[in-house]
Amino acid sequence: MGYEMVKSWQQEYMQLADFVQKHPKIKILDTTITIPSNVRSEFYKRFNNVRKKYLYKHFREELNISMQLCLHYKETTREIIDKLNIERVNNPNEIHQFLENPEISFNNDQFDDLFDLLRDNIGFHDYNQRVLKKIDKSFQNMLQAGFERWALLSISVLLNPDSLFAVNLQPIIASTGLLLCENPGSYIELPDVLESKDISFNHDKTVAFTVPDFIIYSPLAKGYASFRIDYNTAMIRAPHLSLKREWYSRYAINAEEPGMALIYLSNDKNDIRVISDKDKLCRPDLVLEIRGSNNWYNRNAINHVLRRHRSLKPRLGTYILSSYPQRGLNDIAEEGIRIITTGLDKERLYPIIEMITNKCGQFDA
């Protein structure tokens, strides 16, 4: 039946506050928190009960949605790990924690404010207002991030790959902006493409080149496919870029806005190892506009999709992948834009698989 709300979160909080009052060695000050070891376990048990009650009171539906997404993500992750005989799929810490346990992830959004409540710095009303906003924002952000990763890994699984590659990108020293003693904007050699034992969605904020998250070889498609989400700006000019690809001025295109995945296809993995350097962006073969929210659709959002589609001119077009049906979405009449309402059913992604397998490698000549 699920977690029963016998007491309200406010009642749980009053019991927590009473526990603190009865143990004067517990000090919760603005600059210091001291919880003696002999009462620490009981304190955090009560502290966590408050957060859990609050979460299930106000975000039960969001938590259920998140748990379903995480279950499907984990299932898809296991499939790709088994197919490629790799070790793991890496994500930034915040996203990793959400995908492992969304309840713990959302409870962390209450941590600082609950201590502020115990300090009497805020009251119930302020606590409620702060935490509602924080958890709602986290839910929207994590739902989007999780859905993006589920979609890309699902497409990869359906392509039935047999090998995985990553681009060996050299780090930039953030404090100086230097890359191996080179100045930003100077020319350096392109990074190597190496076999990999993990898929990584971790991105450094300062990079020499924008490169794929990962590259797979698909016998089904008879070629390589690379995938990238969370596009970021490169800092270094490449000495040479593939003559088999078409390149745009990076400054003419805003590719850094969220929700977009870039897919590149080739017979040669080296031709798709760089997405952009400091000045140029490679024309994608396919753009995915991935939307995990239940209420993302509006005129501004569609104009945003249209603007990127017209600027990037992906050779195979743009797919809008919407986790939920959106009223008016199917009314978009733009050549090259297709719409799939996926839910969490990877079988609905087969039109993309058919397009990739029919076209992979045809752009190399």
Residue 2 forms part of a structural domain: no
CA distances from 122 to 15, 115, 131, 138 (A): 17, 10, 12, 22
CA distances from 7 to 11, 12, 27, 249, 325 (A): 6, 7, 26, 59, 36
Same domain? 118 vs 169: no
pLDDT reported for residue 275? 93
Burial 9-41 (b: 16+ CB within 10 A, else e): beebbeebeebbeeeeebebeeeeeebeeeeee
Same domain? 94 vs 183: no
Residue 1 forms part of a structural domain: no
pLDDT reported for residue 251? 80
pLDDT reported for residue 203? 81
pLDDT reported for residue 226? 97
Same domain? 44 vs 187: no
Residue 100's domain comprises 9-148
pLDDT reported for residue 190? 81
pLDDT reported for residue 126? 95
pLDDT reported for residue 230? 86
Same domain? 276 vs 220: yes
Residue 364 forms part of a structural domain: no
Domain termination site, one of 90, 114, 148: 148
Write the pLDDT tens digit of every residue in 321-331.
Answer: 999 988 877 77
Same domain? 95 vs 141: yes
pLDDT reported for residue 272? 95
SS3 state at 211 = coil
Residue 154 forms part of a structural domain: no
Low-confidence ranges of the chain (pLDDT < 70): 1-7, 170-188, 252, 255-256, 361-365
Helix/strand/coil (H, E, C) string of 154-176? Answer: HHHHHCCCCEEEEECCCECECCC
pLDDT reported for residue 41? 97
pLDDT reported for residue 238? 84
Same domain? 169 vs 316: yes
pLDDT reported for residue 171? 58
Same domain? 318 vs 170: yes
Write the pLDDT tens digit of every residue in 286-303.
Answer: 999 999 988 888 888 888
pLDDT reported for residue 292? 94
